[in-house]
Chain A
Amino acid sequence: MSADDVRRAIARISHEIVERNHGLDDVVVIGLQRGGVWIAQELAAALGRIENGRSVPVGSVDVSLYRDDVGLRPLVPGSVTTIPVHLGGKTVVLVDDVLFTGRTVRAALDALGDHGRPRAVQLAVIVDRGHRELPIRPDFVGKNLPTSRHENVTVQPNGVVLR
């Protein structure tokens, strides 16, 4: 995917979010540290443009203290959780760059639960690369990208790279 493809994917997903939720009432956008954070900010900005400049709460969640493989992945200092509002009763759009095994998303669901009981959690990702290990599926997808397990996918504003 090129930079334009990423930008278009974010624009399309933002329209899908508005359509699915019949507007933006109680919608909060939360990016997963660290790759999902800039995408969440772009999405929130795009959502605001669609609904006449309305501001959408945007935050981030660090799941390294919740992972089932704590001890296998080091915590990245500096990527601290920021939740702008109490999540009770809100519709949380959880945003990540790549959906792979689903374990990070599972950890994020646990983490969000400590900030209130959302009415619903929806999942938006730029790339779904398959290989799920848990029963988790995305609500909004930029692109389905078939990969092998040992390949590496990075999503940046200037495009998606598969190595």
Chain B
Amino acid sequence: MKHLLDIGVLTPDDLHHLMALTDHMVEVNQRPIPKVPALRGKTVVNLFFENSTRTLTSFDTAARRLSADVMNFAVSSSSVNKGESLRDTIETISAMGVDAFVVRHKSSGAPMQVTKWTNASVVNAGDGWHQHPTQALLDCYTIRTHLNRRTGFDGLHIAIVGDIKHSRVARSNVQAFTALGAHVTLVAPPTLLPPAVETWPVTVSHDLDSLIAKVDVLYLLRMQRERMVDALVPSLREYTGAYGLTPLRAARLRPHALVMHPGPMNRGVEMAVDPSELPGSMVLHQVTNGVAVRMAVLFELLGSGADLATSA
């Protein structure tokens, strides 16, 4: 694998392979000295054109734990503000000799464009409404670990609730969850469903209450406040009433059910209970697993030698 741009191009075997690699990285992260020399001498550039704390920090930590050198480009302080194009930025940094770009951009497809301007590997860290492949991998890994589903998600019922339309997390997760065999239901008001949702391999519901006692995983998306401006939702209070995880709904979850959220959470909106009091809350496990999954991805792209000849 040279790049990770789109979770949809990975086969179930690819997903299982990356999750098995993640097991190794989880073990590294539990050590007294959580650092290995696997990517010594490799340089990873984090190029974030959109604000992000957790994803940037997570990639940064992942690269350092593999002993890679890391350059973080915050766009607010770079020459992009002087009018430099994306292409010039990439070609300039490439000329310094780097091995991987981790790119977040508000435009869908930007990481794919980047691959045309550099020989380095490119990891998509979120592009527009399109894809967030490492988020999907860490969510799959979290479900695999906590529901003990090492061989696949056959028979699992996963509900993804909230603003599906504007969510790259939802797009990537639907692809990964269904590739592993899960049944996915999207739960949202009609205004927050994507166009052509009928072509997705999912069922659609507008009624969370009829589903909540049946699902194995309840995946909540962030309700972005700016959507109010577009009048897609009448009010946050009405949203919470119909689609939020309230104490009443939490009490109806199955005992083993997991509650997941990609963060950052809106407490009192989609998450109207304290997640630390939910036994099935995976919110912090997702963050922890995110570092290990990103280590596995960087190692697969830069260090595993999986596409080179093996020698004895």
Bound form: Cα–Cα A75–B39 in Å: 13
Binding site for B on A (CB under 8 A): 62, 64-66, 69-75, 77-78, 80-82, 86, 110-111, 114-116, 152
Among B20, B27, B32, B303, contact of A70 (Cβ-Cβ < 8 Å):
B303
Q: A77 contacts B17, CB within 8 Å?
A: yes
Nearest residue, chain A, Cβ from B307: A74
Bound form: Cα–Cα A78–B21 in Å: 8
Q: Does B31 contact A (CB under 8 A)?
A: yes
In the bound complex, residues from chain A placing their C-beta under 8 Å from that of B303 are: 70-71
Q: A71 contacts B305, CB within 8 Å?
A: yes
Q: B310 contacts A75, CB within 8 Å?
A: no
For the A-B complex with A62-B24, A72-B305 known, give 20 more contacts whose Cβ atoms are closer than 8 Å.
A62-B27, A64-B38, A65-B38, A65-B66, A65-B299, A70-B38, A70-B305, A73-B305, A74-B306, A77-B20, A77-B21, A77-B23, A77-B24, A78-B20, A80-B24, A80-B27, A114-B31, A114-B35, A114-B36, A115-B32
A-B contact count (CB 8 A): 63
In the bound complex, residues from chain A placing their C-beta under 8 Å from that of B306 are: 74
| Interface 1/0 per residue, B39-63 and A, CB below 8 Å | 1000000000000000000000000
Q: A75 contacts B304, CB within 8 Å?
A: yes
In the bound complex, residues from chain B placing their C-beta under 8 Å from that of A70 are: 38-39, 303, 305
Bound form: Cα–Cα A47–B272 in Å: 57
Q: B37 contacts A80, CB within 8 Å?
A: no
Q: Does B308 contact A (CB under 8 A)?
A: yes
Interface size range on B against A: 20 to 34
Q: B311 contacts A65, CB within 8 Å?
A: no
In the bound complex, residues from chain A placing their C-beta under 8 Å from that of B27 are: 62, 80-82
Q: Does B242 contact A (CB under 8 A)?
A: no
Q: B311 contacts A73, CB within 8 Å?
A: yes
Bound form: Cα–Cα A78–B20 in Å: 6
Q: B32 contacts A75, CB within 8 Å?
A: no
Bound form: Cα–Cα A69–B27 in Å: 21
Instruction: Tell which of B24, B32, B303, B304 has the most Cβ of chain A within 10 Å.
Output: B24
- In the complex, what's the smallest C-beta–C-beta distance from B88 to chain A, in angstroms? 31
List 14 contacting pairs A-B, 8 Å CB cutoff, sorted by A.
Answer: A62-B27, A65-B38, A65-B66, A69-B311, A71-B303, A72-B310, A73-B305, A74-B304, A75-B304, A80-B23, A81-B27, A114-B36, A115-B32, A116-B32
